A and B are shown apart, each in its own frame.
Chain A
């Protein structure tokens, strides 16, 4: 076959450290025809709000958007599971002609009556923006009659990128938070932002904070409950993970309630420890918290190190490719992979910004390929060139890896295994180890002649 070429308009989004000099361009909309790995505005909103388990999530549009997102994520709930249902107004031809407002209103009343949600989110999809349904007005009306918050999420697919969807979700969340007037701060309290309880990660993180003596008022949005948001404005600190999605909300909360925020990651030993220490040092007038934190980190790290060391002997020198949604995740992955003795030879993200890519450039070894908003052909090209042993990505990257005979580790919202915190690091290492050391690669044509 002919070698894979990079489209002219994408050349500034493909960077080779050490030989390229330009600034990686990013924050652009995807190039038509390039088969981007990104989704759309709706996807961004849906990801952020999805784990709120006692809310109704109604997708206003034709059936596809709801159908493709039915129970696809690994966000667990300790109680209600309304978030695992897929509700759609399932607009048909006549609705497109005469408008979907009536149907939306009727659907909302019926669903609220059956499922008694604590709030409802109405996701406006592409077509709603075109036919001009006044979703906000319908929500207002239904809210007045039912007495629960009914929030429009302006997530028309074409109105920007996934990042704009995050913003729309943050707006809806802020709307929910901003209904509460009591403003006395609750001591030693935080909100956890950008943590979605994939495979129970929120529970792992919460346990750490509990052991440190920190009070968690709300998690946005892992194992989320509507009533928890009612307290969130009284927190002392917002701790933001997945900064791409919820920094905007943290900024809004800082402006409205004077809550400062810090950015953290709970992935890998280094970053998890750092996150806990950062929170502990925020409450510096309580040195006992720092003491407890240090003890916790020590205990947890001690518990996992022997097994990690063992796996490291098999993984040392292996090469990994990383392609994720938010770049923040990539930083942690690079560190965690280094911890396992592995080198990152390709790293990219769907939604990284200028600062993210500057940091990635600093972190990576010379020769590493850095990609913004990549497509299957580019990913394949560089995975082959770099002869990687492992690909870390999501469902859409998996077949690229497998077709080319690489191990694969799922690191997006659809996975079912918790990768956060110290025990998450062990899970991650085991998953990487299992796939990289599998004997099947010996039979795969591309690898077979290599050995």
Chain B
């Protein structure tokens, strides 16, 4: 299956570097601000990148290495950065993510932070190791979630009694609208949810009357501190689960190990089947039935599947992005009869093939080309041979879709050539409904655009 020729250089990467994911996580915590320990450029580039998707201020501080810092170590700069940041932003938490530079010179960040007790009294200092040469932005994201959970839930908390049956939910890198939908579901279940991270309000708030150094919203730190009292944890992402199985620590596995909190892992709920799994897990954990509202959404969705079945059946799609996104999206596409002929990611977890085999029906598996560690240039070469009808993924695939003359359905992160990228709903029955409608309509529009007749009826 692996037919793409490998090249030494990466050409138009399908991934971002590790600290970006971490920076995003800290924007999903109330009162937190990310600080990258490295060169000024890292912070600025990532700010710019995140702004182009969210269209909101996304401040990321830097410890601002100079040549001397690189030679003598970054301790002094990091301390100064923390102090200045504390003065200007009055944060409750500073999320310190390393970069390739500080990692390679061997800065011992935990030790540097140890000498900062005077700040630590007022501000939680959370360190996450994110060397840019190891993994992708998704690894940075998951590592940051884990680091926050570990920091806020030390083993010494163990003795406390479980009194409140909250559910910890680690959603992974979902859109703002996805996060809001998750919160809505828990409200409807009348169950307490601790969602980490939750940047849905911070990175998509209303216009301001005055400037907010740190936007409102985000998971309250006091809630994160109560994660060790929860009834259960849910982690979304089959790749993440694979890595946890391999022994990599995740936020959920840490809580399980330290506090015996049951952990359920499942894929991102895209499509009817995946969402069914999600809702049945919720019913099991909360001992509450699925609210009628969602049953109706499910009913309408399946009815829509039926109405649109002929427009999508046997269509061929290129799916790309983060491995967990690709897996979930491919599962949904297969469910409506679309063959995800090329499933590609810049990630390199080693689990993509296995995850897809689990989710895809056997009869189409041999039609699906799976590539981890793939860039967009290789993807375009591979896709060209597979005669796809459309591509689905983030804005980075626009060049590919333009060159292949196929429509692009925008989903995932980043969306920087459209407005509303953060408002795309991908999950649940309602999100699936939106994806389905968008895909069908994109195919119909393409049929109209390329037709010489131009019928106004389907």
Query: Contact: B40 with A88, CB < 8 Å?
Result: no
Query: Contact: B41 with A43, CB < 8 Å?
Result: yes
Interface window among A14-22, A154-162, A293-301, A356-364: A154-162
Interface window among A91-99, A172-180, A188-196, A263-271: A91-99
In the assembled complex, which residues on chain B have CB atoms less than 8 Å from the CB atom of A1? 210-213
Distance, CA A16 to CA B68, complexed state (A): 33
In the assembled complex, which residues on chain A have CB atoms less than 8 Å from the CB atom of B90? 2
Task: Determine the interface band of chain A, counting residues with CB < 8 A from chain B.
Answer: 35 or more
Distance, CA A375 to CA B43, complexed state (A): 12
Interface window among B10-18, B160-168, B291-299, B437-445: B10-18
Interface window among A58-66, A240-248, A329-337: A58-66
A354 at the interface (CB under 8 A from B): no
Query: Contact: B70 with A63, CB < 8 Å?
Result: no
Interfacial residues of chain A within 94-131, with CB under 8 A of chain B in the complex: 95-96, 103, 106-107, 110-111, 126-127, 129-131
Query: Contact: A32 with B44, CB < 8 Å?
Result: no
In the assembled complex, which residues on chain B have CB atoms less than 8 Å from the CB atom of A62? 17, 100, 131-133
Which of A9, A86, A400 has the largest count of B CB atoms less than 10 A from its CB? A86
Distance, CA A86 to CA B346, complexed state (A): 14
Query: Contact: A40 with B44, CB < 8 Å?
Result: yes
Mark B326-366 against chain A: 1 for CB-CB distance below 8 A, else 0.
00000000000000000000100000000000000000000
Query: Contact: A130 with B84, CB < 8 Å?
Result: no
Interfacial residues of chain B within 43-83, with CB under 8 A of chain A in the complex: 43-49, 51-52, 55-67, 69-70, 77-78, 80-83
CB B414 to nearest CB in A, in angstroms, measures 10
B9 at the interface (CB under 8 A from A): yes
In the assembled complex, which residues on chain A have CB atoms less than 8 Å from the CB atom of B87? 5, 7
Mark B258-273 against chain A: 1 for CB-CB distance below 8 A, else 0.
0000000000000000
Which of B43, B55, B63, B211 has the largest count of A CB atoms less than 10 A from its CB? B211
**Contact pick for A92, options B49, B134, B207, B209, CB 8 Å:** B134
A25 at the interface (CB under 8 A from B): no
CB A300 to nearest CB in B, in angstroms, measures 33
Distance, CA A111 to CA B392, complexed state (A): 28
Mark B82-111 against chain A: 1 for CB-CB distance below 8 A, else 0.
111101111000000001110011000000
A4 at the interface (CB under 8 A from B): yes
Mark A1-42 against chain B: 1 for CB-CB distance below 8 A, else 0.
110110101000000000000000000011111111111111
In the assembled complex, which residues on chain B have CB atoms less than 8 Å from the CB atom of A32? 62-64, 77-78, 80-81, 84
B309 at the interface (CB under 8 A from A): no
**Contact pick for B9, options A4, A36, A110, CB 8 Å:** A110
Query: Contact: B207 with A405, CB < 8 Å?
Result: yes
Interfacial residues of chain A within 342-398, with CB under 8 A of chain B in the complex: 375-377, 380-381, 384, 395-396, 398
Distance, CA A72 to CA B396, complexed state (A): 11
Query: Contact: A40 with B41, CB < 8 Å?
Result: yes
B38 at the interface (CB under 8 A from A): yes
Interfacial residues of chain B within 26-41, with CB under 8 A of chain A in the complex: 35, 38-41
In the assembled complex, which residues on chain B have CB atoms less than 8 Å from the CB atom of A31? 64, 80, 84
Task: Determine the interface band of chain B, counting residues with CB < 8 A from chain A.
Answer: 35 or more
In the assembled complex, which residues on chain B have CB atoms less than 8 Å from the CB atom of A41? 39, 41
Q: A29-B66, A90-B9, A395-B52 are in contact. Are A35 and B42 (CB under 8 A)?
A: no
In the assembled complex, which residues on chain B have CB atoms less than 8 Å from the CB atom of A9? 84
Which of B41, B45, B65 has the largest count of A CB atoms less than 10 A from its CB? B41
Query: Contact: B41 with A35, CB < 8 Å?
Result: no
Q: A126-B100, A126-B101 are in contact. Are A64 and B17 (CB under 8 A)?
A: yes
Query: Contact: B48 with A85, CB < 8 Å?
Result: no
**Contact pick for B10, options A88, A130, A375, CB 8 Å:** A88
In the assembled complex, which residues on chain B have CB atoms less than 8 Å from the CB atom of A38? 40, 44
In the complex, residue of chain B having the shortest beta-carbon distance to the beta carbon of A69: B45
B172 at the interface (CB under 8 A from A): no
In the assembled complex, which residues on chain B have CB atoms less than 8 Å from the CB atom of A58? 9
In the assembled complex, which residues on chain B have CB atoms less than 8 Å from the CB atom of A399? 51, 55-58
Query: Contact: B45 with A126, CB < 8 Å?
Result: no
B174 at the interface (CB under 8 A from A): no
A71 at the interface (CB under 8 A from B): yes
B208 at the interface (CB under 8 A from A): yes
Query: Contact: B133 with A403, CB < 8 Å?
Result: no
Distance, CA A63 to CA B211, complexed state (A): 34
CB A11 to nearest CB in B, in angstroms, measures 13
In the assembled complex, which residues on chain B have CB atoms less than 8 Å from the CB atom of A30? 40, 62, 64
In the complex, residue of chain A having the shortest beta-carbon distance to the beta carbon of B94: A33
In the assembled complex, which residues on chain B have CB atoms less than 8 Å from the CB atom of A95? 133
B8 at the interface (CB under 8 A from A): yes
Distance, CA A2 to CA B90, complexed state (A): 10
B454 at the interface (CB under 8 A from A): no
Mark B378-402 against chain A: 1 for CB-CB distance below 8 A, else 0.
0000000000000000001001000
Query: Contact: B40 with A33, CB < 8 Å?
Result: no
**Contact pick for B208, options A71, A130, A404, CB 8 Å:** A404
In the assembled complex, which residues on chain A have CB atoms less than 8 Å from the CB atom of B207? 402-405, 444-446
Distance, CA A292 to CA B83, complexed state (A): 60
In the assembled complex, which residues on chain B have CB atoms less than 8 Å from the CB atom of A166? none
Distance, CA A1 to CA B307, complexed state (A): 53
Distance, CA A159 to CA B399, complexed state (A): 34
**Contact pick for B101, options A7, A37, A157, CB 8 Å:** A157
In the complex, residue of chain A having the shortest beta-carbon distance to the beta carbon of B203: A399
Mark A428-451 against chain B: 1 for CB-CB distance below 8 A, else 0.
000000000000000011100000
In the complex, residue of chain A having the shortest beta-carbon distance to the beta carbon of B68: A158
In the assembled complex, which residues on chain A have CB atoms less than 8 Å from the CB atom of B104? 96, 127, 130-131
In the assembled complex, which residues on chain A have CB atoms less than 8 Å from the CB atom of B210? 1, 384, 446
Q: A2-B90, A61-B100 are in contact. Are A67 and B15 (CB under 8 A)?
A: yes
* Given A62-B131, A111-B11, A445-B206, 17 other A-B residues pairs in contact with their CB atoms under 8 A: A5-B88, A32-B80, A33-B80, A34-B61, A39-B40, A40-B44, A43-B41, A85-B377, A87-B9, A126-B65, A157-B39, A158-B38, A377-B211, A380-B211, A395-B48, A403-B207, A446-B210
Which 4 A-B pairs have CB atoms at the shortest separation, nearest pair first? A40-B41, A64-B17, A33-B84, A33-B81
Cross-chain pairs A/B with CB under 8 angstroms, 23 sampled: A30-B62, A32-B78, A34-B61, A35-B60, A35-B62, A40-B41, A40-B44, A62-B131, A62-B133, A63-B15, A68-B48, A90-B9, A91-B100, A91-B133, A96-B133, A127-B132, A157-B39, A158-B39, A158-B101, A396-B47, A396-B48, A403-B208, A404-B207
Binding site for A on B (CB under 8 A): 7-13, 15-17, 19-20, 35, 38-49, 51-52, 55-67, 69-70, 77-78, 80-85, 87-90, 99-101, 104-105, 131-134, 136, 206-213, 346, 377, 396, 399
